[in-house]
Amino acid sequence: MTSSGGWRVLAVDDVEPAVGELRRMLDAAPEIGSVRTATDAVTALKLIQAEPLDVVFLDISMPGMGGMELASLLSRMQDPPVVVFVTAYEEHAADAFGIGAADYLLKPVRPERLRAALERVRRFIDTPAPPAKPAVDSLAAVPVELAGRTRFIRRDDVRYVEAQGDYVRLHTPSGAHLVRIPISRLEELWASASFVRVHRSYLLAVPAVRELRSDLSGGLLAHTDVGDVPVSRRHARELREVLLDAATRGVFDGGGS
């Protein structure tokens, strides 16, 4: 929902003079209440997740995660901001409109063209939004930063999650991937996707369980194709009941294969 003080806007461009000039032009528009800037898509995503924003002006060609990838992630949010692409390249226009962008501006941006884009944004904001998707969809794929690149880890590929302080390690057939999010928050987001808490430090994908085993001390382990997950005594009975229910509903069909 738009704030009464004007639109809350984020401008994203890895070229600082370009994002500075865009901010100057946006600051002069009467619809705009505040303008924040970011010089890479990962920082932009963190800002968008941290506070409500109405519009994102987004460059396409950036190191690491590109503008198209970021816009695709935003489209899965429960209440996504309106996206306007600002780029030097014409060839991405069809893809931009295909993922729901309000407009596509070519650099250098002329004042009259920006005015037209703001009018298009107004129509997007004034149009009632479709029914909201479940919040869990916003993390159906998790961005992971690796040596200057951004890789997307599909939730369906995660067998179990291991807590490591304010981070979690996602265990998948392709390896383990560290993400900054508390395990309690991920448990909340992924609860409806068949992930259950089985230990203070572990979250388990129910379809990934192949069998339950006893360890040398008599404790319970949930066996998956990427490793064993310890199950605490207080979660053991609950896990057995969840597994029985999943078996009767066919949740294991194709899961964790």
Architecture per CATH, 7-126: 3-Layer(aba) Sandwich (3.40)
Residue range(s) occupied by CATH 3.40.50.2300 in the chain: 7-126
Entry pTM: 0.51
Q: What is the CATH number of domain 135-249?
A: 2.40.50.1020
Residue range(s) occupied by CATH 2.40.50.1020 in the chain: 135-249
Q: What is the pLDDT of residue 136?
A: 38
Q: What is the pLDDT of residue 4?
A: 55
pLDDT in tens, the chain (257 residues): 455 579 999 999 999 999 999 999 999 999 999 999 999 998 999 899 888 899 999 999 888 888 888 988 888 888 889 999 998 877 777 677 777 889 999 999 999 999 999 999 999 888 755 554 444 344 788 887 776 677 889 999 999 999 998 899 999 999 999 988 899 989 988 988 899 999 999 999 999 999 999 988 888 999 999 999 999 999 999 999 899 888 777 666 444 44
Radius of gyration of the chain (CA): 22
